[in-house]
């Protein structure tokens, strides 16, 4: 696979550090725990581990409120622990991706403490301060992602500050060159320490309308949607000046060897593509969340893949994400049977896959009992807690699922005694085995890892497509429905092929052609 970069061929594994492995007996995961479990990630066949924030933080948003961009929270360990984790990852052939949070800091960050100390503090302009309107109301109508006004009144200095997320997460002023320089220094700190790249948290928020004009109402809002969606975010993020910021960040990582820039960007596909930058001078991988957001139906998903492939800029590398700590787990969204189809899709589409911890064993969303809720969004807006998808990793059937020696910070899923890494490791039909085999197949096949993609006509509930590279052809056929399906003609070279993997893990080497019959919720990979 010469001529491709590691992150094009590679698979990214996303660790939510609070929930991966606790080693110091406080019920919360830590860096040493991640280090101990790196073999699981390498054993799956992944290439990189992205770790959600581990910086010093008051933990109002579980680490996405950063109080020091160049440190490690004692809860997770020390810088030395981090260095050890990176060294161990290296030894296992794994890259390490740091989560970087540019749009906002914690309100406890020394920069903000200075900024709010007086109107003429040199760091006043490091954040977004504005006078009240004559009637005392906030400067504009923007709403925080976690509901309520995006402005907080500061009594002491008599102005509002902007917080696109929690009031404890004030937005940095990216139009101030000193802020940019300070953030770039922080990125250099980690690059110098050997990290292989960054996942940039809500990077598209960094540049807003310079005049901070009101957002228009969203005609598509319906009850049940979060308050933030009552307005279109026309002026509060994704200003065209984002192109400058993203290309500056790219220039910075390009000063180093072979590093990766991923952007967390929830925007319509047309806008998402802008984040590849002019002549691909932006993010290598603007995260593509469409498999999470698109209705789980063969036709919808087929249309999505066509559309995404069609919109990619020349040379832009695709990527696909099935889950993360902000979204309901895939096994809950599509159901346990279809989660196998989702996994087969993730690892056979063209583009870098990102796998969320626990999805490889089909972890469900967990109902959190009253009083045990942790997520700030859930506290601010009823119905929007993200705790269900953040519960501890289920390693084995010992007490606390091998995650900790004490009661974990969030409750375990009730199914942990049966559903865990150890039990699935021994089971040739398990979700874990399916993941291992899918990943091994992808890694061993240039057609799957880096080949072209083309769709086959979608029939009924079946989405079928091909991957090809230099004469090698692979056909993927996925039944999105709970009924048997038959595809009459898969246009296999020579009219026949061999099943190399079924989601049910029981059809190895079966000869098929010119079509194939699929059982309910079955997907197959066919080699010519």
Specify the DSSP class assigned to residue 275.
G
Residue linked to tokens 């406890």: 108
Instruction: Let me know if 201 is a catalytic residue.
Output: yes
Residue that the structure tokens 């902007």 belong to:
162
Residue 64 or 347 having the CB closest to ligand NOJ: 64
Residue 127 near ligand NOJ by CB under 6 A: no
Q: Is 201 in the site for ligand NOJ (CB under 6 A)?
A: yes
Q: Taking CB under 6 A as the criterion, which residues in 232-291 touch ligand NOJ? A: 264
Residues 62, 64, 68: CA angle, nearest 5 degrees: 105
Distance CA 464, CA 369 (A): 41
Question: Judged by CB under 6 A, does residue 50 bind ligand NOJ?
Answer: no
In the complex with ligand NOJ, the residue whose CB is nearer, 106 or 420, is: 106
Q: What is the DSSP letter of 217?
A: B
Least distance between ligand NOJ and beta carbon 498 (Å)? 41
Find out whether 111 and 124 touch, Cβ atoms under 8 Å: no
Least distance between ligand NOJ and beta carbon 80 (Å): 27
- Shortest distance, position 52 Cβ to ligand NOJ, whole Å: 7
Binding mask 313-332 for ligand NOJ (x = CB under 6 A): ------------xx------
- Considering the candidates 32, 201, 209, 360, report the single residue annotated as catalytic: 201
Provide the residue count of the chain.
528
> Which position among 13, 55, 64, 174 is part of the footprint of ligand NOJ (CB under 6 A)?
64
Give me the residue label for tokens 């290439």.
47
Pairing of strands 260-263, 12-15: unpaired
Query: Which lies closer to ligand NOJ via its Cβ, residue 103 or residue 445?
Result: 103
**Contact status, residue 263 vs residue 202, Cβ threshold 8 Å:** no
Q: Using CB under 6 A, which of 165, 190, 204, 276 touches ligand NOJ? A: 165
Size of the site for ligand NOJ (CB under 6 A): 9
Q: Transcribe 53-107 into DSSP letters.
A: --SS---TTTTSS-S-TT---TTT--HHHHHHHHHHHHHTT-EEEEEE--SB--T
- Residue 285 or 501: which CB sits closer to ligand NOJ? 285
- Return the number of the residue (101 or 490) whose C-beta is nearest ligand NOJ: 101
98 binds ligand NOJ (CB under 6 A): no
Contacts of 296 (CB under 8 A, 6+ apart): 333, 334, 338, 342, 480
Q: Which pair of tokens denotes residue 272?
A: 């998402």
Active-site annotation holds for 154: no
Task: State the nearest-atom distance from the C-beta of 101 to ligand NOJ, in Å.
Answer: 6
Smallest gap from residue 251 Cβ to ligand NOJ (A) = 24
Instruction: Please say which residue, 326 or 396, places its beta carbon nearer to ligand NOJ.
Output: 326
Q: Which is nearer to ligand NOJ, 77 or 263 (CB)?
A: 263
**Is there binding between residue 101 and ligand NOJ (CB under 6 A)?**
yes
3-state secondary structure of 360: helix
How near is the Cβ of 63 to ligand NOJ at its closest, in Å? 8
Q: State the nearest-atom distance from the C-beta of 376 to ligand NOJ, in Å.
A: 8
C-beta closer to ligand NOJ: residue 358 or 513: 358
Q: Which residues contact 291 (CB under 8 A, 6 or more apart)?
A: 301, 304, 320, 321, 322, 342, 345, 346
Question: Any residues with CB less than 8 A from the CB of 226 and at least 6 apart, and which?
Answer: 145, 147, 381, 384
Q: Considering beta carbons, is residue 164 or 424 the nearer one to ligand NOJ?
A: 164
Residue 196 contacts ligand NOJ per CB under 6 A: no
From 131, 135, 155, 255, the catalytic residue: 255
CA 79 to chain centre: 24
What would the 3-class secondary structure string for 99-117 be? EECCCECCCCCHHHHHHCC
* Total Cβ atoms within 10 A of residue 80: 10
Give me Rg for the CA atoms of the chain: 23
- Decide whether 250 or 325 has the Cβ nearer to ligand NOJ: 325
- Are 64 and 47 in contact by the 8 Å Cβ rule? The answer is no
DSSP labels, 506-526: --TT-EE-S-EEE-TT-EEEE
Q: Is 508 exposed, middle or buried (0-12, 13-18, 19+ CB in 10 A)?
A: exposed
Q: Return the structure tokens found at 200.
A: 């940039």
User: What's the closest the beta carbon of residue 468 comes to ligand NOJ, in angstroms?
Assistant: 35
CB of 64 to ligand NOJ, least distance (A): 3
Neighbouring-strand partners of residue 49: 13, 96
Instruction: Verify binding: residue 202, ligand NOJ, rule CB under 6 A.
Output: yes
345 close to 478: Cβ distance less than 8 angstroms: yes
Query: Residue number with the shortest CB distance to ligand NOJ?
Result: 64
456 to 485: interface string for ligand NOJ, x by CB under 6 A:
------------------------------
What are 278's two structure tokens? Answer: 């002019």
Q: Where are the alpha helices (DSSP H) in 122-241?
A: 177-192
Q: Cβ of residue 427: shortest distance to ligand NOJ, in angstroms?
A: 32
Please select the residue that binds ligand NOJ; options are 30, 35, 47, 61, rule is CB under 6 A.
61
Q: Which residues are part of the catalytic machinery?
A: 201, 255
Q: Which residues would be at the binding site for ligand NOJ (CB under 6 A)?
A: 61, 64, 101, 165, 201-202, 264, 325-326
């Amino acid at each position: 696979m010469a001529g491709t970069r590691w992150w094009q061929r590679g698979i990214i594994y996303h660790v939510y550090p609070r929930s991966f492995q606790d080693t110091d007996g406080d019920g919360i995961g830590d860096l040493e725990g991640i280090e101990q479990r790196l073999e699981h990630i390498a054993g799956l066949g992944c290439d990189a581990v992205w770790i959600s924030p581990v910086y010093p933080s008051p933990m109002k948003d579980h680490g996405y409120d950063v109080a020091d961009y160049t440190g490690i929270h004692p809860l997770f360990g020390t810088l030395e622990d981090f260095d050890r984790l990176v060294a161990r990852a290296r030894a296992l052939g794994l890259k390490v991706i740091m989560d970087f949070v540019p749009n906002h800091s914690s309100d406890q960050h020394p920069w903000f403490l200075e900024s709010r100390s007086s109107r003429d503090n040199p760091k006043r302009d490091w954040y977004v301060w504005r006078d009240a309107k004559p009637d005392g109301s906030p400067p504009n109508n923007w709403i925080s992602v976690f509901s309520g006004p995006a402005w907080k009144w500061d009594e002491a200095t008599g102005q509002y500050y902007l917080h696109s997320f929690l009031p404890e997460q004030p937005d940095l002023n990216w139009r101030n060159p000193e802020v940019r320089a300070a953030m770039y220094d922080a990125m250099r700190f980690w690059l110098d320490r050997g990290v292989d790249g960054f996942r940039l948290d809500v990077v598209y928020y960094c540049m807003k309308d310079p005049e901070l004009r009101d957002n228009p109402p969203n005609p598509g809002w319906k009850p049940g949607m979060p308050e933030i969606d009552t307005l279109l975010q026309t002026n509060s993020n994704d200003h065209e000046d984002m192109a400058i910021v993203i290309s500056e960040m790219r220039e910075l990582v390009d000063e180093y060897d072979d590093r990766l820039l991923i952007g967390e960007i929830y925007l319509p596909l047309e806008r998402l593509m802008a984040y590849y930058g002019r002549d691909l001078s932006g993010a290598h991988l603007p995260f593509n969340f469409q498999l999470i957001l698109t209705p789980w139906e063969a036709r919808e998903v087929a249309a999505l893949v066509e559309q995404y492939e069609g919109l990619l800029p020349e040379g832009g590398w695709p990527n696909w994400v099935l889950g993360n700590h902000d979204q309901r787990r895939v096994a809950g969204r599509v159901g346990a049977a279809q989660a196998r189809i989702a996994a087969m899709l993730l690892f056979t589409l063209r583009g870098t896959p990102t796998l969320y911890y626990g999805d490889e064993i089909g972890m469900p969303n967990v109902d959190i009992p009253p009083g045990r809720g942790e997520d700030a969004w859930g506290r601010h807006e009823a119905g929007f807690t993200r705790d269900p998808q953040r519960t501890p990793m289920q390693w084995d059937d010992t007490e606390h699922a091998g995650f900790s020696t004490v009661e974990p910070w969030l409750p375990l899923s009730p199914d942990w005694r049966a559903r865990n890494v150890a039990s699935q490791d021994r089971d040739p039909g398990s979700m874990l085995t399916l993941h291992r085999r899918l990943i091994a197949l992808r890694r061993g096949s240039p057609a799957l890892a880096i080949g072209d993609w083309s769709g086959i006509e979608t029939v009924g509930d079946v989405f079928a497509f091909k991957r090809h590279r230099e004469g090698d052809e692979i056909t993927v056929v996925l039944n999105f429905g709970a009924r048997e399906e038959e595809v009459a003609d898969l246009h296999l070279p020579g009219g026949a092929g061999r099943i190399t993997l079924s989601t049910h893990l029981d059809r190895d080497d079966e000869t098929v052609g010119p079509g194939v019959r699929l059982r309910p919720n079955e997907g197959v990979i066919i080699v010519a």
